[in-house]
Structures are given as C-alpha cells and as structure tokens.
Structure 1
C-alpha cells in the first residue's frame, strides 16, 4: 500500500478518534451542566399542564406539541446564540444575568406561597374573554411559550455558567454543542413528561370503563392520583425554585463581593449545625438557600405588586372562553 495512502488513513483515524472524544466531552459537559437545572425543570413540568386545563382533550397533545416547538425555538434560535455571544464578548455579565434569573425564580415561588396562604389568586382575578376555541388555544400557547422563554433563559444561563466556570469548556463549538444538547434534552424531558401527565386521567378513564375488574380498579386509582400528582409537582417545583433561586443569589453575591457575607453565614451555620456530616451540611445549606430565596422573593413581590399591581407576565390570568366561569 502506498505510504501516502497509509498516512491519509492514519489522519482519518486520528480525526475520527478526536471527533469521538469531542462527542464524549460535549455529552459529559452537557450532563454536568444540565443536572444543575433540576429545579427549573421541575417547575416547568409543574406549570405547563395548566395551559391545557379545561380545553378539549383532543387538543391537549397538539397544544403541547406547539408549546414544545416554541420552547425549542426559544432555546435554539434566540437563547443559544445570545449565550454564545455573551460567553465570548461579555462573560462578566453571566453572573448578573444569572442572578436576575435567580431573583425571578425566588419571586415566582414566593408569590405562589403567598397566594396559597392568602387565597388571593390575583393572577386569575381578571380573565380575558375569547371569542372562539381557536383564539383561546392561540392565547394559551402564546402564554405558555412566553413563560417558557423566562424558564429557558434561566436553564441556558445556569448551563452556560457551569460550562464556563473554571474553563470547563473553552472551545466555542463544544460550548455550543453542550448548550444545544441540554436545550433539546430538557425540552424533551419536560414536555414529554407533561404529555404523559395530562393524558393519565384519559388513560385512567379508559381503563375504568373496561369490564375487567382489575383494570377498572386501576383506572379509577389513576383518575384519583392525577390531581394529587399535579399538586405534588407544584409543591416540589415551588420548593425547588426557592432552593435554586436562593443558591444562585448567594453564589452571585459571593462572586460579585456584594453581600458576600450571606454566602459565608449560610455555609458556616450549616457546618456549625451538621458538623462533619457532608449530607447534613448539604441539607442545611439547601434550607439556608431556600430561606434566602424566600426573603428576597418576598421583597421582589412587594416591589412588583406596587409597580404593576399583578404579575407582569400573567397579564391578569389565563384567558377563558366567554361565558365560562373564572375559577
């Protein structure tokens, strides 16, 4: 075999090995960065089912499909390029932007807690009227995609911060690949889960109508389980938002040397209570972060309420058809 061909084959093999290693690096970076977004993912999965509540069951999956496409567009078309530009030309803005997202998460969670305690669901007080089911569906999808943009921005910011911290991923294209992997994976996980959740009651109803006694009993159990599952997801999502939002704020203050003592206090208190127990320290730090999120969230709620009178993204609540009662 000519030596030139041998050299060419060696080069091809080297390129193939390098590409395979790059894929592994991207997957590892995406996995590590994506794991930090758990709190936002849980809340996203908990929030989305409300956008198909009360609509024709036959339109539930098509609506979730539209929201999924809107979410992918948010992440891949708008947020991914913005994140790459930010990491290349203004990396010093990553922490402040991340903190804005952390403040938003704390605000959302605290508002939910206050509404549950007071029963004042001001976000649903005034509902816009729709002239047709098509208009209602269009508004529901638009509202879901708008909310998703905020949550997606936080997911991408958390991921970008993880990728750039300590030079974890220096290559621009690897960073883009990791961001894209996280964006697609999170979207599939969230909206795939939502599609299953919103159809559980239909599956349960179908089973409950079967002649088989076991199937009928299982179906009735599923129907009774779905509302409890949605409520549990909402509670878990709220707690996760407080934890993630508070953690982001504490780390941001520490990095920017503004109110950095809060981070030190949280860590020192956790060590003082839990001692050498690593799990105990983590639990105490998590509780401290959640408390931090609650305090700052309450402050933000007061400011936003005074300025807007209601949640600026909810716009007075989700739309309903004319003639439907507001619940």
Structure 2
C-alpha cells in the first residue's frame, strides 16, 4: 500500500514538474512573441486616438472601453481560432490574407489624406450620423475594423514565434499576447486622451512644481492629440505598406523589401549608435509609407474616382 502511494506521489510530482516546465515555456513564448509584436502596438496606439477625438470628456473612456472590448473580440474570438486553423491546415494563406489587410489599411490612410488635403469627405450630409449615439457607434465600428487589421498582424507575428509548439501551447500564448497587447494599447490611449484632465487636477491641487506640469499638460494635450491624428494616418500607411512589402518578399518578390531594408541599413551604418538606429527606422517607415500611399491611392482611385476626389467632387 505504501509502495503504491509513493509511486502515485512520484507520478504526481513528475506531472507537476512537467506542468511547471510547460508554464515556463508558455511564459517565455508569450514574452518573446510580445516583444516581436511591440512595434505594431506603437502603431496601434498612434492610430486609435484619431477615433476618440470629437467626444465630450465624459464619453472618452467609455468609447475607449468599447473599442478595447471589440479589440479583444477581434483577437480572441475571430483571429485566434482562425490563426490556429490556418497554421494547421493552410499556412500558405496567412500571408495573402495579411496583405489584403495591409491594402485596406493603405486605402484608409490614403483616403484620410485626400480628405484632409481637399476638405471633401466620403459620406454625404444625409448619410452622417444624426445623433450622438449614432456618431459614437460609427466611430467605434470604424476603430474596431481598423483594429482587426492591426490585431491580425500582432497575432501573425506572435504565431510565427511559436509555430513549433503544440497546439494548446500556441493557443495559450496567442491568448496571452492578445490580452496583454490590448491592455497595453488601450491603457496607453486612455492615458493620452485624459492627459488634459490629469493636468487640470495637478494645476488645481498640486504644489508649485506640479501646478506648472499641470498647466503644460492642459495647454499641450490638444496639440498632442492633433499631432497623433496625423501620426495615426501616417501609421496606417507605413503599417499597411510594411505588410505589403513583407508579404511580397514572402511570396517570392523580395526586390522592394530588400531595397527598403538596404536603405535603412546604409543609414544605420553611416551613423553608429542611437542616431543611426533611429534614422534607419525612420527611413524604413518612410519607404513603407510611400508604398502604402501608392497602393492606397490605387484603391481610392478604383473605388471613388481619384480625379473627382481631388477636385472635391463626387465620383
């Protein structure tokens, strides 16, 4: 009886050690995948504030919460099962699907740029939301659609880091990365849009130093949000263009991607250290943005009639 009990305890200990090792592997995989996806998180955080502008302060955080909920649904309900299914049955379809998403981002960025330059907006006056609730729903829906593309890239990057792992571990890593990235992005966005409120509180309740910081936040936040709106449009173009360049390389046409990486590498090599790395990234992002802009203009022209848009008319 005691021998059997000892054997059972030994088996339990072995299972526990195996489970602990699996948890360590999952944690390491999630950390590695999350690190690789961090660049997209920055782009996502730049894009999202453009959808939260024009709301009253009391609706800003609820709107962000609704977008974050949609983002979690995108990652955990739509993309996670799809990524696992495609990786198991049709891995070759992942790159073309991501490229379609990149083309959509490029289209959105190019359309926003044309609208800013011409003052012409796609929707007719009658088609615009007639109530605050309808306006909010339209903004949330647009943000969640854009998030779907950015989330797809995050999940694809994470999946690439754990393709050799068993199916269950892959699913757990993707879920962990999805939840962590969503919390990071929308926590950051919430902080950004509330900087003026934080500044107002500091200006009223803090000491002299904190009051000075508060005044800077109050006066500087509108400018920051306006700048982020422009950065968000640029991010759509450079992320969309980057996806297209990477996708063409994956499909066997690496010329443009090699040229992009080569230009960035030359800049990095010419300026050692941080300046070189930062300028190299800027060159890479700018070239991806040009690619996204060209692709986006093609789609805008095909769908709306670019000459009519540039004249401020309707196609």
Same fold (TM over 0.5): yes
Alpha-carbon deviation of 1:121?
Answer: 6.2
Alignment partner, residue 229 of structure 1: 224
Return closer, same or farther for 1:240/1:34 CA change in 2, 3 Å cut-off. farther
Alpha-carbon deviation of 1:76?
Answer: 0.8
Unaligned runs of 5+ in 1: 312-327
Q: Deviations over 1:205-241 (max 9, x none)?
A: 2333448544433321111232343345456556665
Return closer, same or farther for 1:115/1:232 CA change in 2, 3 Å cut-off. same
Counterparts of residues 254-293 of structure 1 (less than 5 Å): 254-258=249-253, 260-268=254-262, 286=281, 289-293=284-288
Alpha-carbon deviation of 1:284?
Answer: 7.3
Return closer, same or farther for 1:310/1:34 CA change in 2, 3 Å cut-off. farther
Alignment partner, residue 18 of structure 1: 18
Alpha-carbon deviation of 1:187?
Answer: 0.7
Give the conservation status (yes or no) of the 8 Å contact 1:99–1:249.
yes
Unaligned runs of 5+ in 2: 307-315
Q: Deviations over 1:7-59 (max 9, x none)?
A: 22222222222222222222222222222333332232223233333323222
Matched, 1:203 2:190: no
Q: Deviations over 1:147-170 (max 9, x none)?
A: 222222222223223333xxxx33
Alignment partner, residue 189 of structure 2: 194
Alignment partner, residue 32 of structure 1: 32
Name the stretch that deviates more: 240-249 or 37-46: 240-249
Q: Deviations over 1:72-120 (max 9, x none)?
A: 111111111111111110011122223333444455555566666x364
Give the conservation status (yes or no) of the 8 Å contact 1:242–1:289.
no
Give the conservation status (yes or no) of the 8 Å contact 1:42–1:237.
no
Return closer, same or farther for 1:295/1:220 CA change in 2, 3 Å cut-off. closer
- What is the alpha-carbon distance in structure 2 between the residues aligned to residue 186 and residue 149 of structure 1? 13
- What is the alpha-carbon distance in structure 2 between the residues aligned to residue 215 and residue 272 of structure 1? 44
- What is the alpha-carbon distance in structure 2 between the residues aligned to residue 275 and residue 46 of structure 1? 28
Matched, 1:9 2:9: yes
- What is the alpha-carbon distance in structure 2 between the residues aligned to residue 134 and residue 273 of structure 1? 49
Give the alignment's TM-score, normalised by structure 1.
0.77
Q: What's the secondary structure of 2:162's corresponding residue?
A: helix
- What is the alpha-carbon distance in structure 2 between the residues aligned to residue 113 and residue 296 of structure 1? 14
Alpha-carbon deviation of 1:297?
Answer: 1.5
Alpha-carbon deviation of 1:190?
Answer: 1.0
Alignment partner, residue 144 of structure 1: 143
Q: What's the secondary structure of 2:165's corresponding residue?
A: coil
Alpha-carbon deviation of 1:2?
Answer: 1.3
Q: How many residues align?
A: 305
- What is the alpha-carbon distance in structure 2 between the residues aligned to residue 70 and residue 16 of structure 1? 36
Return closer, same or farther for 1:40/1:309 CA change in 2, 3 Å cut-off. farther
Q: What's the secondary structure of 2:54's corresponding residue?
A: coil
Name the stretch that deviates more: 206-215 or 50-59: 206-215
Alignment partner, residue 170 of structure 1: 165
Alpha-carbon deviation of 1:179?
Answer: 0.8
Give the alignment's TM-score, normalised by structure 2.
0.80
Alignment partner, residue 57 of structure 2: 57
Q: What's the secondary structure of 1:170's corresponding residue?
A: coil
Q: What's the secondary structure of 2:53's corresponding residue?
A: coil
Alpha-carbon deviation of 1:172?
Answer: 0.8
